[in-house]
Structure 1
Amino acid sequence: MPVISPFLFLKNKDLISENTKLNVSSRPNFKYFILNDFKALGLSHGVLTALESMGFEQPTPIQEQTIPILLADQSDFIGLAQTGTGKTAAFGLPLMELLEFDDRNTQALILAPTRELAQQIASQLDSFSQNLGKLKTVCVYGGASISTQISQLKRGAQIIVATPGRLIDLAERKAVHLDQLRYLILDEADEMLNMGFKEALDQILSFTPEDKLTWLFSATMPAEIRRIVKSYMHDPKEVKVNVAQRVNENIDHQFVITKASEKPAVLKRFLDFDMDLYGVIFCRTKRDTQSLAEILVEAGYPAEPLHGDLSQAQRDAVMKRFRSGMLRVLVATDVAARGIDVNNLTHVIHYALPNDAEYYTHRSGRTARAGRTGISLSLITKADRRKISYLESKLGITFNKAHIPNMEEISANRIARWAESLASFEADFKLPKEAINQAYAHLADFSREELIEKLVGRELSHLKDEPVKIENQDFDESSDRGSRSRRDGDENMVRFFIGVGLMDQFNKGKLLRLICDHSKLTSKDIGRISLQRMHSYFDVEADSVAKADAIKSLELDGRNVRVNRDDDNKARVGGKSGGGGKKKRKDNFRSSPRSGKGKKKRY
Structure 2
Amino acid sequence: MNNFNKLGLSSKVIEVLDQLGFENPTPIQEQAIPYLLSNTPTDFIGLAQTGTGKTAAFGLPLIDRIDLDDKSTQALVMAPTRELGMQTAKQLVDFTSNNKKLNVEVVYGGASITTQIKALKKPTQIVVATPGRLLDLIKRKAIKLDQVQYVVLDEADEMLNMGFKEDIDDILSYTPEERVTWLFSATMPPEIRKIVKKYMKDPKEVSINTKEKSNKDISHKYVVTKTADKVAALRRFLDLQPDMRGIMFCRTRRETQEISDHLGNLGYGAEALHGDLSQAQREAVMKRFKMRSMQLLVATDVAARGIDVNDLTHVIHHTLPDQLESYTHRSGRTGRAGKKGVSLALINPREGRKISMLEKKINVKFEKIEVPTTEALKSTRINNWASLIINTKVDEQADEILKHLHGQFEHLSKEDILKRLITTQLDHLTGNEGEDNDLNESQKQGGGDEGGRKKKGTSNRFFINIGTMDGITKADLVHYISDVSGVDRKVFTDFSIQKSCAFFNVEKGYDKGLSECFEGVEVEGRAIRVNRDDEMPEKKGKGGGGNRASRRAKSHGGKPRSSGRGRSHRGGGGRRRRN
TM superposition score category, shorter chain reference: 0.7 to 0.9
Q: Which residue is equivalent to 2:407?
A: 441
| Length, aligned pairs only | 491
Q: Which residue is equivalent to 1:377?
A: 344
> What is the alpha-carbon distance in structure 2 between the residues aligned to residue 429 and residue 176 of structure 1?
65
Out of 287, 290, 297, the residue aligned to residue 254 of structure 2 is: 287
Say if 1:165 and 1:388 are closer, same or farther in 2 by CA, change over 3 A. Answer: same
User: Is residue 2:316 matched to residue 1:349?
Assistant: yes
Say if 1:460 and 1:146 are closer, same or farther in 2 by CA, change over 3 A. Answer: same
Out of 14, 28, 46, the residue aligned to residue 48 of structure 1 is: 14
> What is the alpha-carbon distance in structure 1 between the residues aligned to residue 538 and residue 352 of structure 2?
18
SS in 1 for 2:163: coil
Say if 1:243 and 1:142 are closer, same or farther in 2 by CA, change over 3 A. Answer: same
Q: Which residue is equivalent to 2:416?
A: 450
User: Is residue 2:221 matched to residue 1:254?
Assistant: yes
Q: Which residue is equivalent to 1:544?
A: none
Say if 1:117 and 1:476 are closer, same or farther in 2 by CA, change over 3 A. Answer: closer
Superposed CA deviations along residues 565-597 of structure 1, whole A, max 9, x for unmatched, are: xxxxxxxxxxxxxx99x975589xxx99x9999
User: Is residue 2:460 matched to residue 1:502?
Assistant: yes
User: Is residue 2:138 matched to residue 1:159?
Assistant: no
Q: Which residue is equivalent to 1:523?
A: none
Out of 150, 155, 162, the residue aligned to residue 117 of structure 2 is: 150
Say if 1:258 and 1:476 are closer, same or farther in 2 by CA, change over 3 A. Answer: closer
The one-letter code sitting in structure 2 at the alignment partner of 1:322 is: F
Shift of 1:428: 5.4
Superposed CA deviations along residues 122-157 of structure 1, whole A, max 9, x for unmatched, are: 111122222334322111000001111111111222
> What is the alpha-carbon distance in structure 1 between the residues aligned to residue 517 and residue 138 of structure 2?
46
> What is the alpha-carbon distance in structure 2 between the residues aligned to residue 145 and residue 602 of structure 1?
52
Shift of 1:189: 1.6
Shift of 1:476: 5.5
Say if 1:602 and 1:143 are closer, same or farther in 2 by CA, change over 3 A. Answer: farther
Q: Which residue is equivalent to 1:329?
A: 296
SS in 1 for 2:111: coil
Give yes or no for contact 2:446–2:458 (8 Å, CA) kept in 1.
no
Q: Which residue is equivalent to 2:426?
A: 460
The one-letter code sitting in structure 2 at the alignment partner of 1:188 is: E
> What is the alpha-carbon distance in structure 1 between the residues aligned to residue 275 and residue 57 of structure 2?
29
Q: Which residue is equivalent to 2:521?
A: none
Unaligned runs of 5+ in 2: 448-454, 464-481, 489-504, 519-530, 550-555, 563-568, 572-579
SS in 2 for 1:348: strand
Of 435-444 and 318-327, deviating more is 435-444
User: Is residue 2:149 matched to residue 1:182?
Assistant: yes
Q: Which residue is equivalent to 1:524?
A: none
Say if 1:504 and 1:193 are closer, same or farther in 2 by CA, change over 3 A. Answer: closer
Shift of 1:88: 0.6
User: Is residue 2:26 matched to residue 1:60?
Assistant: yes
Q: Which residue is equivalent to 1:71?
A: 37
Say if 1:177 and 1:585 are closer, same or farther in 2 by CA, change over 3 A. Answer: closer
> What is the alpha-carbon distance in structure 2 between the residues aligned to residue 261 and residue 499 of structure 1?
19
Q: Which residue is equivalent to 1:27?
A: none
Give yes or no for contact 1:559–1:595 (8 Å, CA) kept in 2.
no
> What is the alpha-carbon distance in structure 1 between the residues aligned to residue 381 and residue 459 of structure 2?
45
Q: Which residue is equivalent to 2:5?
A: 39
Identity of aligned residues (%): 50
> What is the alpha-carbon distance in structure 1 between the residues aligned to residue 570 and residue 99 of structure 2?
59
Q: Which residue is equivalent to 1:23?
A: none
Q: Which residue is equivalent to 2:180?
A: 213
The one-letter code sitting in structure 1 at the alignment partner of 2:232 is: A
Give yes or no for contact 2:375–2:437 (8 Å, CA) kept in 1.
no
SS in 2 for 1:463: helix
Give yes or no for contact 2:224–2:443 (8 Å, CA) kept in 1.
no
Say if 1:107 and 1:253 are closer, same or farther in 2 by CA, change over 3 A. Answer: same
Where do residues 563-578 of structure 1 align in structure 2 (5 Å cutoff)?
A: none
> What is the alpha-carbon distance in structure 2 between the residues aligned to residue 442 and residue 586 of structure 1?
79
Give yes or no for contact 1:266–1:470 (8 Å, CA) kept in 2.
no
> What is the alpha-carbon distance in structure 1 between the residues aligned to residue 138 and residue 272 of structure 2?
32
Give yes or no for contact 1:385–1:475 (8 Å, CA) kept in 2.
no
Say if 1:183 and 1:419 are closer, same or farther in 2 by CA, change over 3 A. Answer: same
SS in 2 for 1:120: helix
> What is the alpha-carbon distance in structure 2 between the residues aligned to residue 388 and residue 499 of structure 1?
20
- Give me the TM-score of the superposition, normalised by structure 2: 0.77
SS in 2 for 1:179: coil
- Give me the TM-score of the superposition, normalised by structure 1: 0.74
> What is the alpha-carbon distance in structure 2 between the residues aligned to residue 196 and residue 371 of structure 1?
33
> What is the alpha-carbon distance in structure 1 between the residues aligned to residue 92 and residue 268 of structure 2?
36
> What is the alpha-carbon distance in structure 2 between the residues aligned to residue 405 and residue 340 of structure 1?
30
The one-letter code sitting in structure 2 at the alignment partner of 1:335 is: V
Shift of 1:67: 0.4
The one-letter code sitting in structure 1 at the alignment partner of 2:336 is: R
Say if 1:554 and 1:227 are closer, same or farther in 2 by CA, change over 3 A. Answer: closer
Q: Which residue is equivalent to 2:363?
A: 396
Out of 126, 130, 141, the residue aligned to residue 93 of structure 2 is: 126
The one-letter code sitting in structure 2 at the alignment partner of 1:44 is: S
SS in 1 for 2:427: coil
Shift of 1:110: 0.4
> What is the alpha-carbon distance in structure 2 between the residues aligned to residue 375 and residue 267 of structure 1?
14
Give yes or no for contact 2:225–2:441 (8 Å, CA) kept in 1.
no
The one-letter code sitting in structure 2 at the alignment partner of 1:128 is: F
> What is the alpha-carbon distance in structure 2 between the residues aligned to residue 584 and residue 424 of structure 1?
59
> What is the alpha-carbon distance in structure 1 between the residues aligned to residue 164 and residue 508 of structure 2?
38
> What is the alpha-carbon distance in structure 1 between the residues aligned to residue 276 and residue 535 of structure 2?
38
Superposed CA deviations along residues 513-572 of structure 1, whole A, max 9, x for unmatched, are: x9xx98xxxxxxxxxxxxxx99968xxxxxxxxxxxxx9x99857749xxxxxxxxxxxx
Q: Which residue is equivalent to 1:22?
A: none
Give yes or no for contact 2:78–2:131 (8 Å, CA) kept in 1.
yes
Say if 1:431 and 1:471 are closer, same or farther in 2 by CA, change over 3 A. Answer: closer
The one-letter code sitting in structure 2 at the alignment partner of 1:347 is: H
Say if 1:207 and 1:556 are closer, same or farther in 2 by CA, change over 3 A. Answer: closer
> What is the alpha-carbon distance in structure 2 between the residues aligned to residue 181 and residue 429 of structure 1?
67
The one-letter code sitting in structure 1 at the alignment partner of 2:362 is: L
User: Is residue 2:265 matched to residue 1:298?
Assistant: yes
Superposed CA deviations along residues 149-181 of structure 1, whole A, max 9, x for unmatched, are: 111111222211000110111111111122332
Where do residues 1-12 of structure 1 align in structure 2 (5 Å cutoff)?
A: none
Say if 1:150 and 1:221 are closer, same or farther in 2 by CA, change over 3 A. Answer: same
Out of 436, 444, 450, the residue aligned to residue 469 of structure 1 is: 436
Of 327-336 and 95-104, deviating more is 95-104
The one-letter code sitting in structure 2 at the alignment partner of 1:98 is: R
Q: Which residue is equivalent to 2:527?
A: none
The one-letter code sitting in structure 2 at the alignment partner of 1:416 is: N
RMSD of aligned C-alpha atoms?
A: 3.5
Shift of 1:246: 1.7
Shift of 1:220: 3.0
> What is the alpha-carbon distance in structure 2 between the residues aligned to residue 448 and residue 275 of structure 1?
28
Of 55-64 and 247-256, deviating more is 55-64
The one-letter code sitting in structure 1 at the alignment partner of 2:406 is: Y
Q: Which residue is equivalent to 1:419?
A: 386
> What is the alpha-carbon distance in structure 2 between the residues aligned to residue 97 and residue 138 of structure 1?
17
SS in 2 for 1:368: coil
Give yes or no for contact 1:190–1:225 (8 Å, CA) kept in 2.
yes
Give yes or no for contact 2:273–2:299 (8 Å, CA) kept in 1.
yes
